[in-house]
């Protein structure tokens, strides 16, 4: 029944059916049924013309219509009229199908006019308003809440107005009757007091009152989120059932010694919680597939080290992969001290590792005497063979694709446990959606005693003062970053900007002994590394750079960051950049320098940065400003396109849906029980439709 063509519905017909398919992809009864209104108009409310300034929705007015004229010729031909009430007047205009109006509209009669006012040449007008006499309106028993359907320019021009939509939808409900199959388990309906499917569908199209409308919306949103989470969780759990993992039976001497005798501080509550989650995974018998999120400086490295020791204590090898050579070196230097204190064999493997050293690494990896391998993607190369890799940790997740991670798997019969660490906070709801098939751990607190970075907003004209301030801090022995935006690394102009600015800074500091490094995207990687290292070793005190310093560089002595044209950076970029300072004992500063004139959005970004250091809060704002597709760097087709739910506004409902989906799968993983027959059917249908198994891994 639901697969029938909409062609034969009253008000549709062959031509309109074709249009609906072309414009909105609506073919069947089912498509139409699921074509939900995106808003509703309160038809009990009448506006006055002088109230209209601020409204940007369909509204209704009452008043008189005069001066009906047909103007223009050919394709520009249209009908215009003046509408007025006690408070003012505006223009009405129709481009098509207006012959009947010429006859219908009489002077000195009161009409109800209904449409969306817009400003055109500083004058209010309404295009294609619907016009009714008071009598017509009284006779009609219409809905107080009138649905507005998603539509297109073309459909509107072809006469798809509210009246036509309502006619079509009424036809659909008459034709199908109210006997749609329930798609949610009855227990859930009862427990959450949700409307049943029929009531929900009816009220979403024909809301009987505002209360029922809200209930219908909640029910349908829940359903959408529930099925999404069912898919993701089923995949996650299936992975655990299917993919065996190494079992790290015991916590042994290396872990214990490191934990009790070597770490010079207590772990934070969040670090301990995450370690427990990892511990549970690596002894479960299933392969761990976990995303670890923690803001810059939250102490992910220690968690990584302890996780690797869990492997080593059980006679496995461990590896940590970083996205750049400099980061790999940084990790290596830090972890080497620990490894040596424990008597473990650790090596570094990157693109620039010498052949001789490589030989040693290969041999020791294969005979199992090498415990810990730190490196870059060089580790992914085919000739790198471990004897028994137990865990692979990947730092700064966004730099590696799924394919590269999969390469780690192919190295062993039983894949290593995978821990992917990222410092880019992803709002929880988004993470649950996008990475819903991974397990997620979050370090949501910083180690105690950190001095939060002070963030200030300054204008371009303040630059001399800012430079004086930087000079003062440098004299105290600190170092500074000065960052410029290069939207496109290849842009010749921006490059010139950078060099010009570099010269100016040199000029300003020329009386002092301070030395300057410059790093930008056009440099050879080797030269970049050399400059970075100079800065790291305090041979240079000022680092003039484009955003290439974004990822993970640790120079604790750098305590100032000046970001020029900060309005040109995105929020997450600003946050990442700021994370480069505040790593040492000194009070750190991040100065956001901008133009006077700022767009609303840029202002929000700057204000957010000065108001908080919390990466997750910043990510939430970013999500609101840019939408989920942009944040993930992909316009994830299908996955992020919800029919009715809103990933930002409906976050709490998403959590509930996930919880209930989880419970259901715990109870009946394959949905084999007769009472879950419908759920299984709807889930299969959805999987076929979205087919997004392939999209995420």
Q: What is the DSSP letter of 72?
A: S
Complete DSSP assignment for 70-90: EES-GGG-EEEEEEEETTEEE
Question: Between residue 442 and residue 501, which ones bind ligand ADP under the rule CB under 6 A?
Answer: 447
136: alpha, beta or left, given left = phi > 0 and alpha = psi -120 to 50?
alpha
Rounded least distance, CB 221 to ligand ADP, Å: 35
How many Å apart are CA 129 and CA 80, to the nearest integer?
11
- Point out which span in 166-174, 195-203, 265-273, 567-575 binds ligand ADP (CB under 6 A): 265-273
Cβ closest to ligand ADP, residue 462 vs residue 614: 614
Residue 350's closest CA among 537, 518, 526? 526
464: alpha, beta or left, given left = phi > 0 and alpha = psi -120 to 50?
alpha
376 binds ligand ADP (CB under 6 A): no
Identify the residue among 37, 63, 129, 294 touching ligand ADP (CB under 6 A).
294
Question: Between residue 270 and residue 289, which ones bind ligand ADP under the rule CB under 6 A?
Answer: 271
- Point out which span in 260-268, 309-317, 342-350, 357-365 binds ligand ADP (CB under 6 A): 260-268
Cα radius of gyration (the chain):
32
Identify the residue among 298, 317, 319, 371 touching ligand ADP (CB under 6 A).
298
Size of interface with ligand ADP, in residues (CB under 6 A): 14
Q: Spell out the alpha helix ranges (H) of 579-691.
A: 600-611, 615-631, 651-667, 677-690
37 binds ligand ADP (CB under 6 A): no
Cβ closest to ligand ADP, residue 299 vs residue 375: 299
Complete DSSP assignment for 507-548: HHTTTSS--EEEE-TTS-HHHHHHHHHHHHTTS-SEEEE-GG
Cβ closest to ligand ADP, residue 447 vs residue 627: 447
Rounded least distance, CB 559 to ligand ADP, Å: 15
How many Å apart are CA 310 and CA 317, to the nearest integer?
10
Q: Which position has the token pair 């297109």?
A: 152
How many Å apart are CA 19 and CA 640, to the nearest integer?
26
300 binds ligand ADP (CB under 6 A): yes
Q: Please tell me the number of Cα atoms within 13 Å of 276 on its side-chain side.
A: 9
268 binds ligand ADP (CB under 6 A): yes
How many Å apart are CA 103 and CA 588, to the nearest integer?
75
Rounded least distance, CB 451 to ligand ADP, Å: 13
Rounded least distance, CB 485 to ligand ADP, Å: 23
Rounded least distance, CB 334 to ligand ADP, Å: 8
Identify the residue among 79, 194, 423, 453 touching ligand ADP (CB under 6 A).
423
Q: What is the DSSP letter of 460?
A: G
- Point out which span in 140-148, 194-202, 266-274, 622-630 binds ligand ADP (CB under 6 A): 266-274
Cβ closest to ligand ADP, residue 423 vs residue 542: 423
Chain-centroid distance, C-alpha 229: 17
Structure tokens at 550: 């974004």
- Point out which span in 28-36, 58-66, 262-270, 683-691 binds ligand ADP (CB under 6 A): 262-270
Cβ closest to ligand ADP, residue 586 vs residue 639: 586
Rounded least distance, CB 342 to ligand ADP, Å: 16
- Point out which span in 298-306, 537-545, 591-599, 631-639 binds ligand ADP (CB under 6 A): 298-306
Q: Element (H or E) spanning 133, and its range?
A: strand 130-133
Identify the residue among 232, 296, 505, 644 touching ligand ADP (CB under 6 A).
296
How many Å apart are CA 102 and CA 398, to the nearest integer?
62
Identify the residue among 8, 38, 120, 265 touching ligand ADP (CB under 6 A).
265
Rounded least distance, CB 296 to ligand ADP, Å: 4
Rounded least distance, CB 423 to ligand ADP, Å: 5
398 binds ligand ADP (CB under 6 A): no
8 binds ligand ADP (CB under 6 A): no
549 binds ligand ADP (CB under 6 A): no
307 binds ligand ADP (CB under 6 A): no
267 binds ligand ADP (CB under 6 A): yes
262 binds ligand ADP (CB under 6 A): no
Q: What would the x/- binding string for ligand ADP be over residues 338 to 367, using CB under 6 A?
A: ------------------------------
Cβ closest to ligand ADP, residue 419 vs residue 644: 419
Cβ closest to ligand ADP, residue 63 vs residue 425: 425
End-to-end CA gap in the chain = 36
Q: How many helices (H) and strands (E) does the chain have?
A: 24, 22
Cβ closest to ligand ADP, residue 151 vs residue 298: 298
Give the CB-nearest residue to ligand ADP: 299
Identify the residue among 131, 286, 302, 321 touching ligand ADP (CB under 6 A).
302
Q: How far is CA 697 from CA 236, 401, 670, in A?
A: 10, 9, 21
How many Å apart are CA 671 and CA 681, to the nearest integer?
9
In degrees rounded to 5, what are phi and psi of residue 412?
-135, 160
437 binds ligand ADP (CB under 6 A): no
Chain-centroid distance, C-alpha 466: 34
Contact 547, 482 (CB under 8 A): no
Complete DSSP assignment for 196-264: PHHHHHHHHHS-SSHHHHHHHHHHHHHHHHHHHHHHHHHHHHHHHHHSB--------HHHHHIIIII-S
Alpha-carbon dihedral angle through residues 4, 8, 11, 15, given to the nearest 10 degrees: 100
422 binds ligand ADP (CB under 6 A): no
183 binds ligand ADP (CB under 6 A): no
- Point out which span in 294-302, 338-346, 455-463, 681-689 binds ligand ADP (CB under 6 A): 294-302
397 binds ligand ADP (CB under 6 A): no
Contact 263, 255 (CB under 8 A): no
Structure tokens at 101: 């109006």
Q: Which residues here bind ligand ADP, judged by CB under 6 A?
A: 265, 267-268, 271, 294, 296-302, 423, 447
């Amino acid at each position: 029944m639901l697969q029938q063509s909409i062609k034969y519905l009253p008000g549709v017909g062959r031509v309109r059916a074709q249009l609906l398919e072309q414009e909105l992809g609506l073919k069947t009864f089912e498509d139409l049924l699921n074509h939900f209104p995106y808003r509703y108009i309160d038809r009990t409310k009448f506006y006055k013309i002088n109230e209209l300034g601020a409204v940007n929705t369909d509204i209704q007015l009452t008043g008189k219509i005069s001066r009906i004229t047909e103007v223009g010729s050919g394709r520009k031909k249209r009908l215009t009229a003046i509408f007025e009430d006690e408070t003012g007047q505006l223009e009405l205009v129709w481009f098509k199908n207006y012959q009947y109006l010429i006859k219908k509209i009489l002077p000195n009669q009161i009409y109800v006019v209904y449409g969306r006012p817009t400003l055109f040449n500083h004058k209010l007008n309404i295009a294609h308003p619907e016009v009714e006499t008071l009598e017509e309106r009284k006779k009609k028993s219409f809905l107080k809440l009138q649905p507005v359907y998603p539509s297109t320019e073309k459909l509107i021009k072809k006469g798809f107005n509210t009246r036509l939509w309502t006619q079509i939808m009424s036809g659909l409900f008459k034709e199908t009757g109210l006997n749609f199959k329930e798609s949610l388990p009855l227990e859930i309906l009862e427990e959450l007091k949700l409307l049943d499917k029929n009531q929900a569908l009816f009220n979403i199209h024909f809301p009987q009152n505002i209360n029922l409308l809200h209930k219908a919306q909640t029910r349908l949103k829940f359903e959408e989120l529930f099925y999404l989470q069912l898919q993701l969780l089923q995949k996650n759990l299936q992975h655990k059932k299917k993919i065996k993992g190494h079992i790290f039976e015991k916590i042994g001497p290396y872990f214990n010694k490191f934990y009790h005798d070597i770490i010079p501080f207590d772990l934070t509550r969040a670090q301990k919680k995450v370690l427990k989650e990892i511990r549970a995974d690596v002894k479960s018998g299933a392969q761990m597939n976990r995303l670890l999120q923690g803001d810059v400086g939250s102490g992910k490295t220690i968690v990584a080290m302890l996780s690797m020791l869990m492997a080593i204590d059980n006679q496995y090898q461990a590896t940590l992969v970083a996205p750049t050579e400099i980061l790999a070196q940084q990790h290596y230097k830090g972890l080497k001290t620990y490894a040596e204190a424990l008597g473990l064999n650790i090596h570094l493997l990157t693109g620039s590792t010498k052949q001789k050293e490589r030989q040693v690494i290969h041999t020791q990896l294969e005979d199992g005497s090498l415990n810990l391998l730190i490196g870059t993607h060089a580790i992914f190369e085919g000739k790198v063979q471990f004897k028994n890799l137990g865990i692979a940790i990947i730092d700064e997740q966004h730099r590696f694709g799924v394919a590269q991670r999969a390469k780690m798997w192919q190295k062993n019969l039983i894949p290593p446990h995978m821990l992917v660490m990222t410092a880019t906070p992803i709002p929880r709801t988004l993470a649950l959606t996008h990475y819903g098939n991974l397990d997620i751990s979050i370090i949501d607190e910083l180690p105690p005693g950190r001095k939060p970075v002070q963030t200030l907003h300054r204008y371009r004209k303040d630059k001399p003062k800012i430079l004086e301030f930087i000079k003062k801090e440098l004299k105290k022995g600190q170092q500074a970053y000065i960052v410029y935006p290069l939207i496109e690394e290849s842009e010749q102009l921006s490059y010139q900007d950078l060099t010009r600015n570099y010269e100016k800074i040199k000029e300003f500091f020329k009386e002092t002994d301070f030395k300057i490094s410059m790093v930008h995207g056009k440099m050879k990687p080797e030269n970049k590394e050399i400059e970075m290292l100079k800065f790291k070793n305090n041979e240079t005190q000022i680092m003039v750079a484009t955003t290439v310093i974004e990822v993970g560089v640790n120079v604790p002595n750098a305590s100032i960051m000046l970001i020029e044209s900060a309005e040109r950076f995105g929020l997450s970029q600003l946050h990442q950049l700021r994370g480069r300072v505040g790593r040492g004992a000194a009070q750190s500063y991040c100065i956001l320098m901008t133009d006077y004139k700022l767009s609303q959005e840029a202002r929000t970004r700057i204000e957010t940065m000065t108001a908080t250091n919390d990466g997750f809060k910043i990510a939430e704002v970013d999500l609101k400003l840019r939408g989920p597709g942009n944040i993930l760097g992909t316009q994830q087709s299908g996955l992020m396109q919800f029919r009715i739910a809103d990933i930002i506004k409906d976050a709490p409902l998403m959590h509930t849906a996930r919880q209930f989906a989880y419970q259901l799968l715990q109870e009946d993983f394959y949905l084999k029980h007769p009472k879950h027959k419908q759920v299984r059917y709807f889930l299969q249908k959805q999987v076929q439709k979205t087919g997004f198994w392939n999209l995420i891994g």
